[in-house]
Structure 1
Amino acid sequence: MSQQQSKQRHLITVTNPRSTVSEAFRSLRTNIDFSSVDEKIQVIMVTSSGPEEGKSTVTANLAAAYAQADKKVVLIDADMRKPTGHRTFSLSNRYGLSSLLSQQANLDEVIQESEVPNLSIITSGPVPPNPAEMIASNRMTATLQELRQRFDIVLIDTPPLLAVTDAQIMASKSDGVIMVVSYGKVKRDIAVKAKAGLDRVGARMLGVVMNNVKRKASEGYYYYYYGN
């Protein structure tokens, strides 16, 4: 495995663009683009009901899929409690979203270029004591407004819905939400409870990505399915 592939070990859309999984991410991208005729879907939040369902991997691959379609994309790691974005893209996390929201850095200082053309990253930054308050802040709203002007697509990776309130707060600031569900791991009532939390804040559910569905023996357990 090359050094670049090692850095992008989670980005199958980059390392193996002709795979079935990569095609599934392109289909997901297309479904999102056609999910609304009247309103532009630009700020998209990705979350899950619980931990370890693969939401960060889905967000990173979807971001790469958009970038490959010549869209200017920024991925925000808004999981300031258990961040992974800086590791996925092998970037520094000295400054990031928490630095921006606490006014320790400006927007230009926290936007980093990834090795994927057209894809920029805002890492989480140092773990703050008050992530939910930061996400709810007017500064977060203003940041998203500025990113709308600079980028075609803004993808946001958030903590799980049932763990903390961060995702529900961010959902209210987004154009739409994708929920990642790990097949066979999450019980239906838990997923329904998570979606109810989104409904309470008026979030627009774009769809569900069913993770770890094994279709054929040759495809392994990393096929993603999009559905309403």
Structure 2
Amino acid sequence: MSRQPSSKRHLITLVNPRSPISESYRALRTNIEFSSVDEKTQIIMITSAGPAEGKSTVIGNLAVTYAQNERKVLLIDADMRKPTVHRTYQLTNRYGLSSYLSHQVELQDAIQESELTNLYIMTAGPIPPNPAEMLGSKSMNSLLEALREQFDVILIDAPPVLAVTDAQLLASQSDGVLLVINSGKVKKDIAIKAKESLTRVNARMLGVVLNNVKRKASEEYYYYYYGN
């Protein structure tokens, strides 16, 4: 039996896998898997319009549901400006994505095992002076192609799409994109602007995760809307 990772971020799919929210994450996973018949959806980027919308919580729980479904999963923290994944899983951030792209470590040294079976983590690594250039480099593209051979599912935690260009660069290298929107925080025009920023780079939009939709006084749900 695998141990649950110690976490500052609340991963409800581990703490309470039978909750309605955990079931919503499993439904999200299923909808992604059936989102396309003809195109492979192996590399999935998750972003948000702005900060503090819950994208890292969404991607953390989604990664758990894939791993629990016996898929070999790699979660990449590609937010090299404000990385958080290493804190969620209580891992070192001494080496990671930036270390590999700057040729400081070999690939196997940039990937860490989590305490959950089937789930592997590539932290962001030390914050570089040129994250956008790194993410848009040929080395990043080659890295993702190499990882396709090693993992069933690759989830990329990207910075907010309206804050920097990083998410647009990553979207063009991914098989699909999920946009996380905080329903109680983000206005409709901002959400539309975020989506348009992704479609301009020909991102394949899998859908939107509408976060913090309150249906009862004490409950929060995550809903998945697919298509454009």
TM-score, normalised with respect to structure 1: 0.96
How far apart are the structure 2 equivalents of 1:217 and 1:146?
46
Write the distance in 2 (CA, Å) between the matches of 1:4 and 1:115. 6
Q: Is the 8 A contact 1:48 1:180 kept in 2?
A: yes
Alpha-carbon RMSD: 1.3
8 Å contact from structure 1 (residues 79, 158) kept in 2: yes
Counterparts of 1:209 and 1:90, CA distance in 2: 26
| Displacement of 1:216 | 2.0
Does the aligned pair in 2 maintain the 1:8–1:15 contact within 8 Å? no
Q: Distance in 2 between matches of 1:82 and 1:8?
A: 16
Q: Output the amino acid matched with 1:35.
A: S
Aligned partner letter, 1:189:
D
The 2-side partners of 1:198 and 1:62 are apart by: 21
Is 1:46 the counterpart of 2:43 in the alignment? no
Give 1:6 deviation, angstroms.
4.3
CA contact (8 A) 1:5 1:15 kept: no
**In structure 2, what is the equivalent of residue 113 of structure 1?**
113
Equivalent pairs, count: 224
Please give the secondary structure, in 1, of the residue aligned with 2:56.
Answer: helix
Deviation of 1:4 (Å):
4.9
Q: Deviations over 1:9-48 (max 9, x none)?
A: 4211111100111000000000000000011100000000
Distance in 2 between residues matched to 1:226 and 1:14, nearest whole Å? 20
> Is there any run of 5+ residues in structure 1 with no aligned partner, and where?
none
Aligned to 1:55: 55
Sort the Cα spacing of 1:6 and 1:73 in 2 relative to 1 into closer, same or farther, 3 A. Answer: closer
**Structure 2 residue identity aligned to 1:209:** V
Q: Secondary structure at the match of 2:178?
A: strand
Residue-by-residue CA offset, 1:79-135 (whole Å, 9 max, x unaligned): 000000000000000000000011111110010001111000000000000000000
Give me the TM-score of the superposition, normalised by structure 2. Answer: 0.96
Local SS of the residue matching 2:199 = helix
Aligned equivalent of 1:226, options 215, 224, 227: 224
How many percent of aligned residue pairs carry the same amino acid? 66
1:177 Cα deviation after fit: 0.2
